[in-house]
Amino acid sequence: MEYTLAELLPMVESLSRKYTRNESTSISYETAQQLMEAVIYCIEEAEHPSADLPVSVLSATDAYALGYEAVLRKTKQTAERYNALMERFSSYGNQAYEETIAQGFPAFFRWYDPLFAPQEHILTLDYPLLRPLEALCGIDRITAYLECIETEQRFLRCFSEEFVRSTLSKHHPQWEELFLNLPYHVLKKLLCLLLLDFHEEKERFNPMDYENLRTKLNGLSKAALQERLTALLRRFLSQYFPKDTAMEAYLGYAVGDIAAELWLGLEKDCLPDIV
């Protein structure tokens, strides 16, 4: 639903009075822009299919009010999900993971301003995910980020802590200080184990394993390798995460890059540096 400036300005004016507590008759352009973005953000929340609201027949004021309620509701639900996540959360020793989730999120819930700046997600979210979230902002970005972390934690709990840590330390001796995605490297190791028909955790490959891996990868194009890895992933997920579409979608983001890495590793004869 398109709303005109004439319909949006009264809400910006009302917000600006609240923002200044009626102690200023003017605001800077920057503040006005922030408040306008706040109004638009809430209206877009009301228009989101998940809100299930009849926005096409609503005035801008009503759409804004309903959208603001939706933002508050979403913030509360995300806080509850975060608390549930933290009961079993493990960063496996990676600092960026720990700082972003264990320290960053509480700061978000403390400082998030759903009234005057719902579009600001405040956190830099340094820990990198497999799924790009740049198109989202505000509480939507935080909620989507949290969903990805929940998925990652479910995946990582499939493996022993020793396996996860040894996989990461094989990748880089200072993995604890790096900004790397933990499931990416564990998934890469998992897919190689599945390619080699191993069905248990193996912390280190020996020269024979690398030789077998070369044989398995030889002759496969990048696209064919990606298809093969996708099929292996699906088989694994159907066994350990049946009907978990979120898991399949999330880990699916990594398969292309993993296939490219392994293909290059074969080309340059440096598979031991890759996995």
- 160, β-bridge pairs: none
Query: Least distance in Å: CB of 117 to another protein?
Result: 15
Q: Which two tokens stand for residue 208?
A: 């024979």
- 113, β-bridge pairs: 117
Sign of the alpha-carbon dihedral angle for 222, 227, 233, 235 = negative
Query: Least distance in Å: CB of 13 to another protein?
Result: 5
Radius of gyration of the chain (CA): 23
**Between residues 23 and 134, which has the closer beta carbon with respect to another protein?**
23
Of 275, 195, 271, 260, which Cα lies nearest the Cα of 226?
Answer: 260
Query: Least distance in Å: CB of 49 to another protein?
Result: 28
**Between residues 2 and 134, which has the closer beta carbon with respect to another protein?**
2
Query: Is 192 within 8 Å of 206 (Cβ atoms)?
Result: no
Q: Which residues bind another protein (CB under 8 A)?
A: 4-6, 13, 16-17, 20, 23-32
From CA 218, how far away is CA 221, in angstroms rounded? 9
Query: Least distance in Å: CB of 23 to another protein?
Result: 4
Query: Least distance in Å: CB of 225 to another protein?
Result: 56
From CA 143, how far away is CA 134, in angstroms rounded? 13
Tokens 């690398």 sit on residue = 210
From CA 98, how far away is CA 52, in angstroms rounded? 36
